[in-house]
Structure 1
Amino acid sequence: MSVADEAEERHPTLALDDTVHQRVRLGILTIAREADRVEFGFLKEQLGATDGNLSRHLKVLEDSGLIAVTKGYAGRRPRTWIALTPHGADALDHELRALRALVRRLDAASAGGRQE
């Protein structure tokens, strides 16, 4: 690839979305993609997050329109459920495409014998 080609091609990391890419938020979105909805306690356990930390990340995702949060009861116990919105599904797909492009770029560089 020439220098001119590299200048025209954006580095894949420029396509990463800071809202989505943060570890806990990416975990929330990917877990929510696997089910119609997921319960707060399950997310907390799976992601190793505290109540406060998880709540903060859920608020960012909800304010961005990437998830919908529903509160209700399971029996007498209050519950919070999280579901991926269509916008959230699109954002997750975009993030995964950017990560795949980054991996392809690194694989190509490795196959070309480049070493650091």
Structure 2
Amino acid sequence: MTGQGSHPRHGLVDVIHAPVRLSIVAALAGLEKAEFRFLRDTIEVSDSLLSKHLTTLEAAGYVQIVKAGTGRRPRTWVSLTPAGRTAFDAYTESLKKIIDAGN
């Protein structure tokens, strides 16, 4: 790790580290995809806050957002990309190392 210390906190990805974004990525980790409203209700945030954080995750390449018109109401589907899954796995591994270092 050139330029970084050896403490496991250096493995925490800033994009994921924000509580709402961590909640989004964690919720998506166990799913193939999730509908916007389901995700909003699961992590208990407003539409606008979820949209803001999804935009950040999408810009980082961590989520894919697909809008599909079904019936009268268009639906928005969100899924983790392979890069997002890799980043989340690395993030959780860093958290485990931090916790284990304290024991």
Question: By the TM > 0.5 criterion, same fold?
Answer: yes
> TM-score with structure 1 length normalisation?
0.81
- Write out aligned runs for 1:1-116 (5 A): 10-107=6-103
Provide the rounded CA distance (Å) in 2 between the counterparts of 1:30 and 1:47. 10
Find runs of 4+ consecutive structure 1 residues off by over 3 angstroms.
none
Aligned residues: 99
Shift of 1:75: 2.4
Structure 1 gap ranges (5+)? 1-8, 108-116
What RMSD in Å do the two structures reach over aligned CA positions? 1.2
Q: Deviations over 1:56-97 (max 9, x none)?
A: 000000000000000012322111110110000100010001
Q: Structure 2: where are the runs of 5+ without partners?
A: none
In 1, the alpha carbon distance for the partners of 2:92 and 2:13 equals 10
**Bigger relative CO (Cα 8 Å, ≥ 6 apart):** 2
> SS state of the match for residue 65, structure 2?
strand
TM-score by length of structure 2 reads 0.90
Provide the secondary structure at the position in 1 that maps to 2:102. Answer: helix
Provide the rounded CA distance (Å) in 1 between the counterparts of 2:42 and 2:102.
29
